[in-house]
Structures are given as structure tokens and as C-alpha cells.
Structure 1
Amino acid sequence: MPARIPNAGLSRRDLLKRTGGLAALAAFTAACGSNTGRPAGTGGDGGGSKATLSQWYHQYGEAGTKEAALKYAKGYGDATVGVQWVPGDYGAKLASGLLSSNGPDVFESQLNVAMVKSNQVVPLDDILGDVKDDFNPNDLKTNTIDGKLYGIKMIDDPQVFYYRKSLFDQAGIKPPETVDDLIAAARELTTDKVKGIFVGNDGGSIIGGPALWSSGGAYLTDDNLPGFANPRAAQAFGKLHELFASKSVLLGAPADWWGPGAFVQGLAAIQWTGLWAMPAIQKALGDDFGVFAYPKLDAQGKQALPSGGWTQFVSAKSANIEAAKKFVKWLWVDNTEFQEDWNLNYGFHIPPRKSLAAKATKLQSGTAAEVVKLNQDFGVVDRPAWTPKMGTGFTDLLTNVIRKGADPAAEITKLDKTVNTELARLFG
């Protein structure tokens, strides 16, 4: 169930950063036709009958997720809810679907300020009521713009490095404390049969965000200014190229970083992926694995990891906004049984509700508990002011630096221009 983080790279999460609005409309129409997810032959208010709603999900990889989503929709009695399970480029299809009333009524995504500025989503403050204080404050913060809450967090998804304990022990290596330690460990663990590390099939752009944070930088500062235009960020990006150039990075894995296949099949000694993958890793490897956050850049840096996830929104284009809000409240505010099921029975996710997280026994021991603690100590949440265009620019920076060896400082200058132009457009 990855997100996940606004990291660069072609994660399912980051596809949302690369959407093209009207430019993607033709692709959306070809892929989905008139299938909005609403039950056939129904729509609107139905002349006094129950409202019909379309709920969109990206295609989760964990077994049982689609069946669970269908079960939740079927269990709702106040509207007829059709589930649209969207394969492929969910971000592009969603961007197009939100342009018209033929898109979703309810959908999952991650908030950015452009969605609010273009009136794609509606505020949801009124559906939280007395349980607002039970939600993780960071999950409220990342979905709030100008004091209004636009989304209800469904799952919290931290990402970390997984490593094979047995291979580390054989090589006499400890979990890395700095990025230089990580590069050295990847080299040491690389053999003719096993690569030292897997950070995605593009060579590592998924860890671009953590690399920046490990230097003390940020996508944006608290007052929405670029937080990456400095020499330490350039140094952090340069380390990603150094890792790529070390010949210890696995490329061309059968599945990308969001699935644990490369790790459990023994193709790499270290892999970056999410908490959601832990049950599959436990099943394959028993206790022969550990976890660590992205290491600090140096003694002045800090460990880091993205604390991403998915959030439920109501489309401003919906013909049944109030009915859609009522459904979201039923499923993601009131129905704690389904919330627990979604977070803990299809991969591991941290429930956004503090009361549910407190009794999530599957996350309270072993390596799962370690990830939860790392997320508490070092997790970085999304900033809604970071827009898709900014994300595309960041991806371009990482591609040029990591794979092509471009000068990080020069690439930062280009990104700084893009980001400042976007900020001026949005905020004046």
C-alpha cells in the first residue's frame, strides 16, 4: 500500500506529483471510458432514492485489499457506493477525473495546495466532531490549509531500510549510522550473487527526500520557502550518485521498491520499502532481518524517513457532496472496526487514530515496534504547499544527479527557480 511520501521517483505515491490535468484527459478517457465506479443505471439523487457514490482507490498490491474495500462499500446503508479500483497511473487518471462530475465522489490521494486553489476538494472539518483530538496531530497538519481540514487520513505508512541480519553478521557490519557507512556497507555486501542495496529500479530517487532531510534540509520551510538551496543539500544529493556509482545498487528487479520481492528473494542485502511489506518479509525470512532509518548525512545531520500514507477526500465536483461527506464520516471517522481491519490485516500500517494505534498489538513488538518508534522520532510528513510541478522538478534533479552525474548545485539552482515560480503563482 505504498504512498507514500512526496519523494521523487516513480512510486505510486509520486505518480500523483507528475499529473498533467487536461493533458492527461485523453489517456484517462481511453483507460476508463465512462466507468466512474457508480453502479450502472444510477446517478445523482435518483429522484428521492438513495444517493449513488463512486469511491476511487489506487490498485493496492496486498492480497485482500480490493475485497475489503468492496466489503466496506457494501456495508454502508445510506447510499449505494461503487468502488473503482484503478490500475496503472492512478495519479494521471485521478487528475483527469477530478475535472468533471464523471470522476469520483470520494477518492484517496495526498493533499497539495493546488487541489484547494483549483476547488477540487471540500473542507471536512464538520465531520470530525469530538474525535478530532484522537487523530495524530501530524495527520491533521498535513491535510490542513488556511485553517481548514480537507482530508481524513486512512493509513500512516513509514518507509525504512530493511537489512538481512545474517549477511551483516557474516560481513561484520553494523547498521549504518551515516550515509558514508551505508555506501561502505553496500559495497562490502555486494557479491557476484547478491547486490548490496536496492532503492528502486531507477537507482535511488525514492530516497531523495530522506537524503535531503538527513542533511537538515527540507522541501519547504515552515514559512513556505525552498529548504534545499544550500551546500549541505547538494552534498546529500551527491552521496546518492556516489552510492549509484559504487556498482552495489540492484537495478532491474522483478518488482520495484514498494514490494519486498528483491529483498526476500535474496537479490539484495538491504532494501528500502514500507512498513506495509513487513508481514511478507516476516513470512519469508522469519527473524533474519532488521530495520533502520535513512542514516544522517554526517555528525551534524539526522536520521530521517518519510511518514506518508493515504487520505480520503470528497470531490468538489460531486453531485452529492453531503452524501459523500456522510459516507467518509461513517467509514473513516465512526467505523473503527473497518479502520483497524484496513490498517492491520493487509500489510502493516499505523492507524491515524491514536486510540487505535495504542491497541494495535501487531505493531507493539519486534521490528514493527522499531519502525513505529523510528517514525515517531524521525518521520517527516508531507507539506501541502509542495505541488506536483515542484515534485516533477525534484524528480528531474535526482535523475540528473544520480544516474547522469550532474552537478548537484547546478540542479538545485534549476529546481529553486521552478519552486519559487510555483510559490509566487500560488501565494503571490
Structure 2
Amino acid sequence: MSAMSNSNWDRRSVLRAAAGLAALGPLAACGDNTGRSNGGGKGLTQYFHAYGEAGTEQAIKKYAAAYKETKVTTQWITSADFESKLFATLLTKNAPDLFEFHPQIQMIKSGQVEDLTDIINPVKDDFNPADIKSHTVDGKIYGVRMIDDPQFFFYRKSLLEKAGIEPPTTLDELMEAAAKLTTGKVKGLYIGNDLHAVINPMIWSAGADTLNEKNEIAYHTDGVIEGIKKMRKLFTSGDLLLDAPTDYWDPSALNQGLCAIQFCGMWAMPQFQKTLGDDLGIFPFPKVTDDGKPSVYNGGWSMFVNAKGKNVDAAKEYVKWLWIDQKKYQEEWATSFGFHIPPRTSIAEAATKLKSGLPAEGVKLFNEFGHFDNIGWTQAMITALEDVFADSVRKNGNPEAALDKADKAVNRELKKLFG
């Protein structure tokens, strides 16, 4: 994922749209679907959210212009609600032929996205296996991963040294560090305005997961309850930066000296380095319990073909051309604006910008501690755990009771999806 420029935007908000996807199935079936053609001279339309890094819009349009088979028009969506605009448009005759989003099982169940197994299979072994797995349902692959986006804590080395602190390896140490680093103008820690970005990392670092291999609840554990209680303590400590001018995805909280440690994504690394130079370190979300281990959430974006569109085959050909065949463009997209990890192993291994210094350290953390999206973890489930945080971290609710409530919502969804 990449920061959006002018809005209080985060990856979670993008997933909110998927709540509307259940309704999308029957509605979209009434849409204008005149079968499959090769573009019919009308060309293709693709939807992208507005990435925060300069040059990204020009790059996507440059790639499209280089494609000779058919005209490709890019809708660069700058509004804060990319996802609601996307899903509203998917219900109309102006629906895009292809669009970027995240793997979500409802899009497959509702027949919204095209099976891309045939274009991915020939190069499947060159993709990070976790990226293939997170896009696969019943042996079919939906969506081509464009970038992987690990998220971790960035910190000012000088501030930690001055306070005599080592980079934290446990959540307790992180809380202690936040307390020591909080001074008059500077808060010790920033984890985003709504705290949503750290929910999954906290679950993984407590030795739990969202769902298990059988698509059953795996987050309701003693370790997670312990983590929620610690997060509540942190939230009320006065050591957490709350209501920053921009959200966690934007590097400005740390860059402007509002905090000493900030949760953010590798996409912002060049901006951090430009401002802070070598006074910058990273560490994963630390372990929450003794039997937990550090975790790195891997966000990212994927390209999907609208299965209900008029130009399905032409859209697939373009996706194959750009996101499978054009390795030079794929490397540029991943490393020339923000830093992202190319999902293709051959490109990732050749990407010189990721080979040394802090980017190489980011890749190492990603490889060692990375967790990918579970395609069965839907927006309604995400919202259920956001409610747990709202109730038990922001307010003083009982974590056990809040998790019981979440279980009901999650089990309802699981029954709908998996019977």
C-alpha cells in the first residue's frame, strides 16, 4: 500500500468497501454484460487509488501508453474513499475493466473478479508463494500481486540512544520505551489515529492468528486478551501520539518530530531517509507474550480483472503484458517511488535499491516475520475486531466480552462463506 496524499486514509478504509460486496453479487448480475470481446475498439479502463509518492500517476500512465494492442485509460482516484467509488462504479455500465484492490473472498464468491490462473501459472514459481496463496480459492488464482508492503516501527536512533534504550523486543519494552521517550513536545510512540493498523500484528505477536487453516476463529486466546489489556494501558498512558495531522501511512509524524517511534510502511522509507538520514532504524511489532514472536504485516496491492466487464479477454491480455511480462516496469513500480518488495522473486533479487542498508533490513524482517492477508478474512471480520479495539482499548470495556461479541459476527460471516 502507499500513502494517499491529502486524506486521512488507510488500508483498512479501503477494505470497508468489501462489506458492500455481499450485496454486489445479485445487483451486479443485472449490469450490462454483453459477453467477451477483444476490446471492440473502445479500449480499457483501469482504476488506481492515488499513491502518495510523486511520479506514480505518471508511471502508470506511461506503462498504459506503451501498450500497443488497445487504448488503456487510467482513472486515478484521489478522493479518500477510493473503495466506495470503485464498488459503486462496479455496479454501473461505467465499471472499470480492471482495478487494483486486495484479495477478498467475497469478490470471488460474487463472481466479480476473473480467474487469472492461466496467465499466472507459467510464472507461478517466480512469485512469492505467500502471495499466490493469499490470492487462491479452490486451486484458482484471482488477481496478480503488484507490490508487497511490509509495515514496521521506524525510530530515531539518536533519541533512543539519548534515553539509553535498545530497540524493544517485547510489547512491555515498547511501552517502557514510549514512557521514557515522551518529553514536553515529543510523544514516545505513534501507531496511527484509529489504532487499526496494529490489530493484526498484535494478534500474530501474541502467537495467535485471525483464522486457522480450517477457517475457524484463531484470535480468541489468552495471549490476545493480554495484548488488548497492554494496548489499553498504552492508550491511557499519555505516551501515545493521538490525533496526528496525518495517519500512520504518512511519514510526517516522525519526520516532524511529533514522536520518537512511528508505525509505518516500507513505502515511506525514502521519505524518512530524506529527512532523517542515518538517524533511522526499524524493528518489527515486538512479541506480546513469552510464547509469541515478532511480526511484520505485509500489505500490498493487486490487479484484478472485472469478470462482469465487456472486455474480459482484452483486460486479461493487458494484465499479462504489464504485470507478468514487463519486468522492467514491475521493478520500477516497486522501487523507484516508495520502497516496496517486488512479489516476483527474480525481480526482488535483482532490485539493487533493496540490497543494502535499511531497505535490505526491511526485506530481511519481511522474510523472517512477514504475515500475508488471509483471503477468507473479510471486511465484516475486520470491522468486528476494530470494534473490540474501540470497546476495550479506547474505552474501558472487558476484552473477553468484546471478543465474545466479535466471535458471533465472525462466525456469522464464516457460515455464510464456508457453510
TM-score interval for Structure 1 and Structure 2 normalised by the shorter chain = over 0.9
| Residues 399 and 3 of structure 1: CA distance in aligned 2, closer, same or farther (over 3 Å) | farther
Q: C-alpha displacement at 1:316, in angstroms?
A: 1.1
Q: C-alpha displacement at 1:97, in angstroms?
A: 2.2
Question: 1:68 aligned to 2:59?
Answer: yes
| Aligned residue among 334, 339, 354 for 1:348 | 339
| Aligned residue among 349, 363, 371 for 1:372 | 363
Match of 1:61, as an amino acid? Answer: G
Q: Which deviates more, 249-258 or 287-296?
A: 249-258
Question: 1:164 aligned to 2:136?
Answer: no
* Cα distance in 1 between the residues matched to 2:282 and 2:193: 21
Could you tell me which residue of structure 1 aligns to residue 199 of structure 2? 208
* Cα distance in 2 between the residues matched to 1:130 and 1:298: 42
Could you tell me which residue of structure 2 aligns to residue 260 of structure 1? 251
For the residue of structure 2 that corresponds to 1:278, the secondary structure is: helix
Match of 2:149, as an amino acid? Answer: D
Give CA-to-partner distance per residue, 1:36-70, whole Å, 9 cap, x none.
xxxxxxxx969x85341110001111111111111
Give CA-to-partner distance per residue, 1:349-398, whole Å, 9 cap, x none.
00011000001111111111111111111110000001111111111111
Match of 1:218, as an amino acid? Answer: D
Q: Is the 8 A contact 1:258 1:273 kept in 2?
A: yes
Q: C-alpha displacement at 1:402, in angstroms?
A: 1.7
* Cα distance in 2 between the residues matched to 1:51 and 1:124: 22
Could you tell me which residue of structure 2 aligns to residue 13 of structure 1? 11
| Aligned residue among 78, 85, 90 for 2:82 | 90
Could you tell me which residue of structure 1 aligns to residue 2 of structure 2? 2
Q: Could you tell me the percent identity over the aligned residues? A: 48
**4+ aligned runs moved over 4 Å, structure 1:** 22-25
Could you tell me which residue of structure 2 aligns to residue 271 of structure 1? 262
Report the TM-score, using the length of structure 2 for normalisation: 0.93
Could you tell me which residue of structure 1 aligns to residue 403 of structure 2? 412
Match of 2:14, as an amino acid? Answer: L
* Cα distance in 1 between the residues matched to 2:130 and 2:93: 31
For the residue of structure 1 that corresponds to 2:43, the secondary structure is: strand
* Cα distance in 1 between the residues matched to 2:362 and 2:250: 17
Q: C-alpha displacement at 1:249, in angstroms?
A: 0.8
Q: Structure 1 regions of 5+ residues with no counterpart?
A: 5-9, 26-43
Work out the number of aligned pairs and report it. 403
Match of 2:276, as an amino acid? Answer: L
For the residue of structure 1 that corresponds to 2:304, the secondary structure is: strand
Match of 2:319, as an amino acid? Answer: V
Could you tell me which residue of structure 1 aligns to residue 118 of structure 2? 126
Q: C-alpha displacement at 1:261, in angstroms?
A: 0.4
Q: C-alpha displacement at 1:252, in angstroms?
A: 2.1
Root-mean-square deviation (CA, aligned residues, Å) is 1.9
Q: C-alpha displacement at 1:205, in angstroms?
A: 2.4
| Residues 287 and 389 of structure 1: CA distance in aligned 2, closer, same or farther (over 3 Å) | same
Could you tell me which residue of structure 2 aligns to residue 175 of structure 1? 167
* Cα distance in 2 between the residues matched to 1:142 and 1:315: 19
Could you tell me which residue of structure 2 aligns to residue 29 of structure 1? none
Q: C-alpha displacement at 1:169, in angstroms?
A: 0.4
Q: Is the 8 A contact 1:15 1:92 kept in 2?
A: no
* Cα distance in 1 between the residues matched to 2:404 and 2:201: 20
Q: C-alpha displacement at 1:408, in angstroms?
A: 1.1
Match of 2:175, as an amino acid? Answer: I
Could you tell me which residue of structure 1 aligns to residue 298 of structure 2? 307
Could you tell me which residue of structure 2 aligns to residue 33 of structure 1? none
Question: 1:137 aligned to 2:129?
Answer: yes
